[in-house]
Amino acid sequence: MNTHWNVIVASLRHGPWDHALVSMQWIFMIYFVAINLAYLILNYISAYQIVRYMREYRANYLPPGLREYQPPVSIVLPAHNEVKSVVASVHSLLKTNYPEFEIIVVNDGSTDRTREVLIEAFGLVKVPEAYRARLQTEHVKGVYASARYPRVHMVDKARGGKSDAINAGINCMRYPLFCAVDADCILQPESLSRVVRPFLEDRRVVASGGVVRVLNGCTVTNGMMSKVGLPNRWLPSFQVIEYLRAFLFGRMGWSPMNALLIISGAFGVFYKERVIAIGGYRGDTVGEDMDLVVRLHHNLREEKRDYRIVFVPDPVCWTEVPTDVASLGHQRVRWQRGLAESLWSNIGLMLNRRGGAPGWVAFPFMLVFEFLGPIIEVVGYVSMIVLALAGLVPLKIFLIFLAAAVGMGVLLSVNAMLLEELSFGLYARPSQQLRLFAVAVLENFGYRQMNSCWRFYGTLLWLLGLRKHHRWGHISRDGSWQHDLPGNVAMPIEQPADGSSHP
């Protein structure tokens, strides 16, 4: 075996692979420096914007006299086989502190009891309501309404996928703004008011997105968040830090430049007519949330309109994340394919003379660092290990590089954790903060590399044209965060140790 290894090392040292591997080493190192520099810039932009936001809005986010001027909102909740969580999600939405809204649950051909539990829980009955098919969807079987809960409606339709379900909800809604919420999500009472506020402050706003946080480890009682906690397992704990980094740094950094390309499908508000004008959500992509936002940018810039797509850092939407490796891997592969489809189907925005910051800054960033990044990372790490084993890179240099790569990841993760604690403070107990710090460090030893491998696989699947027909991205859920009390009594949110209230 040693003889074979010596032959391989000799061929690497003196063969045609020598220059290729060394070149790959330099490409990886340049990429590493560039991506971390870009993330640091986003980091500091986000920190400045969040501090500014907290100074302006935390004390009194909206004067009481202005509440009546908030525009009415239609909340669209697409659901397919969500029997474990859909009722809790609707109860959470009903407790929203907002003057005028309706809830449209779209049952997209569920094969479990999603439709039945909704009818039982809310007393829904079929009504002869007019259905304007402004957006083409699969067959709508019926529209349901509730006498006990006048805000709640249900659209029962043939299965067509999440995009098709939201389009059906748009066809049924009455109000000018709509909020798309996943069926496994829980909103805090003020979340909708906060994410709608940009529409009140700036008439140019056409879309607004909020923060999504990890629900695992929390307690929800009759649709209300009663206790904020951390998961007791490592895999969802790693995702807590990942979500903080993605939302507080990634999206908050792009918003001031009007270059935000992603509003999470779990929680975003859009101007209905603008979405209808571009044909609604596309059904031929798994990344329908990003695709919609990129098409909005492209269309509005081609029309030379003055517009804004913004991110608000404190409207919180809580969602259950995967707890097993198989579900998490499937989700990340799906996300990467969605990213690839959204970028390449809208490639005309990049470097377009009317592209502005979205086309000249955000789009190239996503293409180079998010789409090509996993390929460069995986190939780069493998080549660095091979070069080190072959003696083409001194071991000391390899270890220094590895320490720098891990150290930068730790820095970004700890910064996200500290910014959350200094601004919103949802995890206020010392034990929670210590656990978050440990997770922020440990996620860089295996978890992030595993994520890169999944994203690399997702990119390959897209390049090879495989797995095109996944309409719903389901993960296994246990719903352990739900606790129902008799009489549908809502419990107050548990306060942090310092007595301050959660945002």
316-349 pLDDT tens trace? 788 889 999 999 999 999 999 999 999 999 999 9
Task: Tell me, yes or no, whether 456 lies in a domain.
Answer: no
Distance between CA atoms of residues 358 and 186, nearest Å: 31
pLDDT band of residue 64 (cuts 50, 70, 90) is low
Task: Tell me, yes or no, whether 437 lies in a domain.
Answer: no
Q: Which domain holds residue 246?
A: 36-372+470-488
Task: Tell me, yes or no, whether 408 lies in a domain.
Answer: no
Residue 152 host element (H or E): strand 152-157
- The partner residues of 390 in beta bridges, in order of sequence, read none
Distance between CA atoms of residues 99 and 368, nearest Å: 44
Of these ranges, 18-22, 80-84, 488-492, the one predicted with the greatest mean pLDDT is: 80-84
pLDDT of res. 225: 79
Task: Tell me, yes or no, whether 403 lies in a domain.
Answer: no
Question: Which residue, among 341, 315, 377, has the nearest Cα to 31 in the 3D structure?
Answer: 377
pLDDT of res. 137: 93
Q: 356: which 2 tokens?
A: 């502005």
Task: Tell me, yes or no, whether 500 lies in a domain.
Answer: no
- Cβ-contact 222, 489 below 8 angstroms: yes
- 404 vs 7, 163, 452, CA distance in Å? 32, 42, 18
Share of the chain above pLDDT 90, in %: 46
pLDDT of res. 60: 52
Pairing mode of beta strands 152-157, 101-108: parallel
pLDDT of res. 502: 31
Distance between CA atoms of residues 426 and 418, nearest Å: 12
Distance between CA atoms of residues 289 and 179, nearest Å: 12
Higher pLDDT, residue 201 or 398: 201
Task: Assign residue 289 the CATH number of its domain.
Answer: 3.90.550.10
Task: Tell me, yes or no, whether 27 lies in a domain.
Answer: no
Q: Which range (215-219, 394-398, 467-471) has the least confidence? A: 467-471
Mean pLDDT (the chain) is 84
Task: Tell me, yes or no, whether 52 lies in a domain.
Answer: yes
424-459 pLDDT tens trace? 778 888 889 899 999 999 998 889 999 999 999 999
Q: Looking at the 3D structure of the chain, how many domains does it have?
A: 1
Q: Which range (295-304, 360-369, 389-398) has the least confidence? A: 389-398
pLDDT of res. 497: 35
Q: Does pLDDT of 105 surpass 60?
A: yes
2-60 pLDDT tens trace? 565 555 555 555 555 556 666 666 777 788 888 888 888 888 888 888 888 887 766 55
Task: Tell me, yes or no, whether 228 lies in a domain.
Answer: yes
Mean pLDDT of 122-151: 90
Q: Which range (231-240, 294-303, 414-423) has the least confidence? A: 414-423
Q: What is the 3-state secondary structure of 221-250? A: ECCEEEECCCCCCHHHHHHHHHHHHHHHHH
Helix, strand, or coil here: 52? helix
- Cβ-contact 413, 448 below 8 angstroms: no
